Amino acid sequence: MAINTADNKRMDGYERREQIISVAMRLFEKGFSEVSIGEIADAAGVGRPLIHHYFGTKRDLYLEVVRRLSHIPAVVPAGIRGDSLDDRIEASIARYLTVAWRHRNIWVSTIAIDSGSSSDDVGRIMREADQLAVSRMLDALAIRGDGPKEQKLAVHMLAYGALAKLASRLWLKEQSLTRDEVQLLLTSTLRTIVVDVAGLG
């Protein structure tokens, strides 16, 4: 559905840019090749030159959408509260799964990207997102410091991130796991990594 052009006129540059990204995020769920700049412009209620002004090409806009979605795991733990490590783990994973479900179509496409074999730009975005997700998750779990245990835990968390992506795909796309099963798998594995493997928590 197109955005009201009268509302558009009252937007500043930042708001208009965010609006375009929001529309593109929704439309790209159909697939990159199935969406044109013209379709995005029409749905956002702006002219195509404005999209080119803010983002350049359709691929550049798509990369920005990938960046936003790939950073979801990093944003999700923000503001997590809990009296115990178990509470914080449970709440973090529950919020992650809720956001993944909300954006499930394009999220499945995003987590399928192999950061080691994809294009330089996409691979870089995914690697940055993985590192940021680890940092934010450790903050959410109230695990801080840069000692040997914390550094090793950060490496373990990168491997855990790969498990979280695969489990999400098995739930959202393959439907061979339920949400409850994914929640149990990710929470129990994360607790084992933090407590038993890293010796923290």
Whole-angstrom distance between the N-terminal and C-terminal Cα of the chain? 48
Tokens encoding 10: 């009252």
**Buried-exposed string 13-42: b where 16+ CB fall within 10 A, e elsewhere:** eeebbebbbebbbbbbbeeeeebebeebbe
For CA atoms 67, 188, 183, 185, give the dihedral sign: positive
Kindly report, residue by residue over 120-140, the tens digit of the pLDDT.
777 787 788 888 888 888 888
CA 62 – CA 152 distance, rounded (Å):
34
102 or 171, which is more confident: 171
pLDDT band of 93, cuts 50, 70, 90: very high
CA 84 – CA 29 distance, rounded (Å):
37
Return the H-helix or E-strand segment holding 2: none
CA 147 – CA 67 distance, rounded (Å):
30
Kindly report, residue by residue over 41-70, the tens digit of the pLDDT.
999 999 999 999 999 999 899 888 878 776
Whether 5 shows a pLDDT value over 70: the answer reads no
**Cα→Cα distances 86→18, 80, 96, 119, 188, Å:** 36, 12, 15, 38, 9
Cβ–Cβ under 8 Å, residues 108 and 169: yes
- Going by CATH, does the domain composed of 5-67 fall within 1.10.10.60? yes
Label residue 79 left, alpha or beta by phi (over 0 means left) and psi (-120 to 50 means alpha): left
**Which amino acid, one-letter code, is at 8?**
N
